[in-house]
Amino acid sequence: MLMKLKKQMYKVVAAIFLFAISFVFSNEYLSLSFLGGSYLLAGWPVVRKAFRNMRRGHLFDENFLMAVATFGAIALRQYSEAAGVMLFYQIGELFQAYAVAKSRRSISALMDIRPDYANVKRGGEVCSVSPEKVVVGDIIIVKPGEKIPLDGLIVKGYSLVDTAAITGESVPRELVVGDMVDSGCVVVSGLLEIEVRKPYGDSTVAKILNLVETSASKKAKTEQFITRFARYYTPLVVVSAILLAVIPPLCGWSEWRDWIYRALTFLVISCPCALVISIPLSFFGGIGAASRYGILVKGGDYLQALADVKTVVFDKTGTLTKGTFRVVQVKSMGMSEHELLELAACAGVFSSHPVSQSIRKAFTGDVCEQDVVEFTEIAGQGITSIVRGRKVAVGNNKLMASEGIEPEDVMLAGTLSHVAVDGVYAGWIAIADEIKADAAIAIQELKKLGVQRTVMLSGDRKTAAESVAKAVGIDIVCSELLPQHKVEQLETLMTCYSGRLAYVGDGINDAPVLARADIGVAMGGVGTDAAVEASDVVLMTDEPMKLATAVKISRRTLNVVKQNIVFALGIKFGVLGLGAWGMATMWEAVFADVGVSVIAILNALRVLYFRNKDRLIHNSSVQKHRQ
């Protein structure tokens, strides 16, 4: 791409030189030879494309318009104008090529995360192989300065790891034995031995590259409109130019030469390059700017939809809260607190739910899997198990009701797990989930951006859900919801409120809701396949604040798109009118086409250089919250 751009630039520079030197000589033939050379250097690619497209049936495009206009100018002996039109058109093309290359580099910078090799430890030796050939369970070694080729678990070593390519964060993370690592990150210091947990096809790198490669293929509604507009607009102006060249002289209004010149000027002005080029470029730049902040948008249509969001719905656990539960209080009845914790920990030994994990962590003794049989996990309710011959149920009010047990009414802010043993209520365990440091700031920013309402959907108890909602500033709370009820609640919200609705979630149970929302936002990277597949936007970190950044980028993109549409059409129609009345020459036509295109392209590039002005304020506020 870079070599092609340089070659194009050299041709344009040579054409400018020949064009300028043609005015130095007084000899007409010498001057014409330099003008001819300038025209061929700048215009031959355009003329060739025009004839090639005509053979394919694509008659009405900018190459056709430029070829016809300049051929007509040559027939009217307007040689300098013919060469000038082609020259300035190629200057505009050069700006376009540069802008596209710049935009593509912002997206393809992510492609640098693709690992070239993996150092695999096999049979006491280390060999470099393709990441695709590494299997789950292999031990890979990553040295300082190397990319982590596959997702896995650190089994030996310590290092600072640069995650900027994946998350957009500039501060390296400190990782030790037992930590999970994502492929694509760079080891800054220390040697790491990593046990591979996912094949390359399911790795973070592979998923991100797949998302990036498909993002440009989905056009926004504005892009689709501009494509349709150009399809009808170009033939219309060609017919108008023909009528302009033929009807007035037939009616005796001035000479044929004058009206043909006006028609040719009309053709040059009418080229829709500014719109056809700058609008897709704006969306491409917006997607590139978002990727720098660790936000992957799956297409221009979703970027445009984000700008119109009026309602944002959040899942609670793992989205607004960290999802790292800890036991804060235990109350037992008819047994000791230690025994209650032991039974609850054993009952949930096979569960991966954060609540069960936190109970196991709180119990200081050993949990034996052989003591547990008939383990059952009920989504949105809890678990039941047979522990050493005793039936233990651990869960919420709904589970207790299904077991025919009346639980104690406890008014606590945290998540409450009731425990029943052999059909008798045995007590409860209170578990607290820490709110994310930037959750409240993110809600404030979204409201500043014009989001009219924020909603939280949670399967947690009403008191726990309302406590989190109050702390972060959520407007509407819907609690004690089963996964299937979340979809029903979302549809109710979409019916009651106008405007676009975005849903933000992180878990596998959020996939149906993410798919149903106008814009589904998966948080926390690409850890949950179902959530990522169902979503339209992926936030690569666990920060809700990135959603506000995504909305800012989408608004900036849409503003630039609107500016380009108004500016391009305004100038075009104004100069078209002047050209039809003979008040604009081909030089003005060149400005109306190439000049407007260059200005629109440069304006589109502004999206690519988006800077989040609130980022430093946000980071400072998060630090204060942590302290």
Q: Which residues contact 28 (CB under 8 A, 6 or more apart)?
A: none
441-456 residue pLDDT tens = 999 999 999 999 999 9
How far is Cα 489 from Cα 155, in angstroms, rounded to an integer?
44
The whole-number average pLDDT for the span 327-343 is: 91
Residue (of 14, 8, 68, 69) closest to 37 by Cα position: 14
- Listed residues 419, 434, 449: the one ending a domain: 434
Q: What is the pLDDT of residue 286?
A: 85
Q: What is the pLDDT of residue 627?
A: 43
Q: What is the pLDDT of residue 84?
A: 80
- Expressed as residue numbers, the domain containing 348 is 322-434
The per-residue pLDDT of the chain, averaged, comes to: 81
259-309 residue pLDDT tens = 888 888 777 777 776 676 777 778 878 888 888 888 888 878 888 889 999
Which of the given ranges, 348-352, 439-443, 507-511, has the highest pLDDT on average? 439-443
Q: Which residues of 166-181 are buried (b: 16+ CB within 10 A; e: fewer)?
A: bbbbeebeebeeeeeb
Q: What is the pLDDT of residue 334?
A: 86
Write out the DSSP string of 209-224. Answer: HHHHHHHTTS--HHHH
Is 255 a residue whose pLDDT tops 60?
A: yes
Q: What is the pLDDT of residue 440?
A: 93
Local confidence band at 543 (pLDDT 50, 70, 90 cut-offs): confident
| 580 or 286, higher pLDDT | 286
Identify whether the C-beta of residue 316 lies closer than 8 Å to the C-beta of residue 465: yes
How far is Cα 604 from Cα 281, in angstroms, rounded to an integer?
6
Alpha helices for 311-396 (secondary structure H): 337-347, 354-362
Q: What is the CATH number of the domain that holds 408?
A: 3.40.1110.10
Identify whether the C-beta of residue 479 lies closer than 8 Å to the C-beta of residue 466: yes
Q: What is the CATH number of the domain that holds 140?
A: 2.70.150.10
Is 609 a residue whose pLDDT tops 80?
A: no
Is 60 a residue whose pLDDT tops 70?
A: no
Catalytic residues: 315
- Listed residues 383, 407, 434: the one ending a domain: 434
CB atoms within 10 A of CB 94: 17
The whole-number average pLDDT for the span 419-424 is: 94
19-32 residue pLDDT tens = 888 888 778 888 88
Q: Is residue 526 part of a domain?
A: no
Q: What is the pLDDT of residue 616?
A: 40
Is 2 a residue whose pLDDT tops 60?
A: no
Among the residue ranges 302-306, 378-382, 591-595, 603-607, the one predicted with the least confidence is: 591-595
How far is Cα 166 from Cα 184, in angstroms, rounded to an integer?
7
Is 314 a residue whose pLDDT tops 90?
A: yes
The whole-number average pLDDT for the span 335-351 is: 91
Local confidence band at 617 (pLDDT 50, 70, 90 cut-offs): very low
Q: Is residue 139 part of a domain?
A: yes
Local confidence band at 624 (pLDDT 50, 70, 90 cut-offs): very low
Is 621 a residue whose pLDDT tops 50?
A: no
How far is Cα 272 from Cα 344, in angstroms, rounded to an integer?
69
The whole-number average pLDDT for the span 252-257 is: 80
The kind and range of the H/E element at 550 are helix 545-580
Task: State how many domains the chain has.
Answer: 2
Identify whether the C-beta of residue 457 lies closer than 8 Å to the C-beta of residue 315: yes
Q: Is residue 106 part of a domain?
A: no
Q: Is residue 203 part of a domain?
A: yes
- Listed residues 210, 227, 253: the one ending a domain: 210
Is 316 a residue whose pLDDT tops 70?
A: yes
Is 619 a residue whose pLDDT tops 70?
A: no
Q: Is residue 183 part of a domain?
A: yes
Q: Is residue 81 part of a domain?
A: no
Which of the given ranges, 166-175, 213-222, 429-438, 587-596, has the highest pLDDT on average? 429-438
How far is Cα 537 from Cα 555, in angstroms, rounded to an integer?
15
Q: Is residue 363 part of a domain?
A: yes
72-95 residue pLDDT tens = 778 778 788 788 878 877 877 777
| 133 or 114, higher pLDDT | 133
Which whole-number Å values give the CA distances from 624 to 469, 541, 549, 619, in the listed order? 20, 20, 20, 9
Helix, coil or strand: residue 329 = strand
